[in-house]
């Protein structure tokens, strides 16, 4: 009669619903709170995605500024010039 996630909430507790009205009121309340939880989770994960995208943009911007300053990372152009020929000899 009810979805499984609602049925668990409706039937839980020390006093099971005895009338149709009691059962329906519990179902309505359970539906409301399940919907609230879904909205909160959706909002949380949307914020996480936006935060991750923002961090990725900041990381790309930092990489561009460090290359412009000549401070390439460990695999940057500056390090490849210094060690490129030695790496080929080691093989």
**CA-wise closest residue to 12 among 50, 67, 4:** 4
- How many domains is the chain built from? 1
pTM of the model: 0.51
Range among 31-35, 57-61, 78-82 rated most confident: 31-35
SS3 for the chain is CCCHHHHHHHHCCCCCCCCHHHHHHHHHHHHHHHHHHHHHHHHHHHHHHHHHHHHHHHHHHHHHHHHHCCCCCCCCHHHHHHHHHHHHHHC
**How does pLDDT run across 40-71, given as a tens digit for each residue?**
999 999 999 999 999 988 888 777 776 666 65
Range of the domain at 12: 4-90
């Amino acid at each position: 009669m009810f979805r499984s996630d609602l049925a668990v909430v409706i039937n839980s507790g020390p006093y099971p619903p005895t009338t149709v009205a009691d059962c329906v009121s519990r179902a309505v309340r359970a539906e409301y709170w399940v919907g609230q939880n879904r909205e909160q989770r959706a909002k949380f994960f949307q914020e996480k995605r936006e935060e991750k995208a923002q961090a990725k943009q900041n990381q790309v911007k930092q990489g561009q500024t460090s290359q412009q300053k000549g401070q390439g990372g460990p695999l940057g152009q500056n390090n490849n010039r210094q060690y490129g020929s030695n790496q080929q000899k080691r093989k």
